[in-house]
Structure 1
């Protein structure tokens, strides 16, 4: 139903692209990402520099995600020289664009953006990594009606303006719930749940495995990243000086890659200490329950 800001961002950028020199159209972007303090203070020039990447390529099947992928690609600066040389001629955005071109030909911008988000982000990352595995690790089994494929299929059959009316996301759903859900809820800005990445991984009392995975010895021996750049990133986070979303993404990517290599390439999964084991010393059952 168009709940993510990336959908509004794509719609505003397409609107702006019709008059690229406009001083006012890019200002609509200030309505997005209220949880980022720098957005409210951005002027026309700053917005133009940040959001203007490939602005007029509106016919691209992946137009909605071009800016996001471009910004995220800055993480590649942390790669080691060997890795950079290996991937220098590879363009994943171009490859993916060609792959989905026929599928998305003639589809409206919002539907294209939602299709890409569902296939690339939701199914490949959000649900398994932040949902299913996290729930399973804590013995939680969820039932989510809004993930029923029939609900998704029905929503995607709705006209775009019923999903996103202007910049009003979940439009039809909110209209239906007008007399049920308080206005304070339906009118509030979207606020993502965000883990404190920098403070969790860069503090002095961080877990030993983090210190080990980000150590000079491990960074160099595994060979994926340039140690000096990783070191500078960690120092920046310790100082808590203008930490950006790219910084947080970079730290997460670096640490995750190091751990994956350690577990599945080096196969160095440590043996749990007795103090880390969960002892099930109290079994509770109903003596009066009659089993079938």
Structure 2
């Protein structure tokens, strides 16, 4: 709990930020505690498998006490632990603020009383000129109202001095705000310049894209026309080839029919020759038999 008093945890008003700092602190600077090491050994893991060291300790405590638990119970216990840390921190912060305010109030009262005492002591022990002596003699016979008036005058002088310091602080604050305003105006001008440059580049890119798109359309039109012409040419070539093949087929059919007719004529002649030759043989044979 003492680590909350470190310098990096002081002057933090937001609990969420404190929560993240506590988590980072426990993970980075307290992972080697004995309970953490035992918990990691019992789990068979190392600290890089988990985000928070307290999960190991709570896990280990649950296992020692033999209490059934879930991840939700573990998370709830851890959040309660962090709430206690935040409450301790807030109490510590409030106590420090209260002690500081009390100390400043007492310091002002002591300074005020010390200033009055030294002023009276100086007037009573170190008389310098005749005027001072007269003042002292007159001071000794002052009544209570006059003494209060004198104290009020001293307070007014101190107030004037404080006002001078306040004016100086106000002047510094105004200078700081003026500087911040100048920086803001400079950043706004720079942002406007960047925006204008970006718009110009955007317009230029749009015009270039338009030109490229037009060129692409023209090129696509030319390609389509070329493809159409090639298609027409290929179609005419195909028609010519089909006509040529048809003529070749007709010539082939004609030649086949001519060859077939010649073969038929030749067969007729051969058959006719065979018939004549057979008739002649028969006639010769008949004559020889008759003779």
Q: TM-score range by the shorter chain?
A: under 0.3
What is the TM-score normalised by the length of structure 2? 0.16
Larger RCO, structure (CA 8 Å, separation 6 or more): 1
What is the TM-score normalised by the length of structure 1? 0.16
Is the helix fraction higher in 1 or 2?
Answer: 2
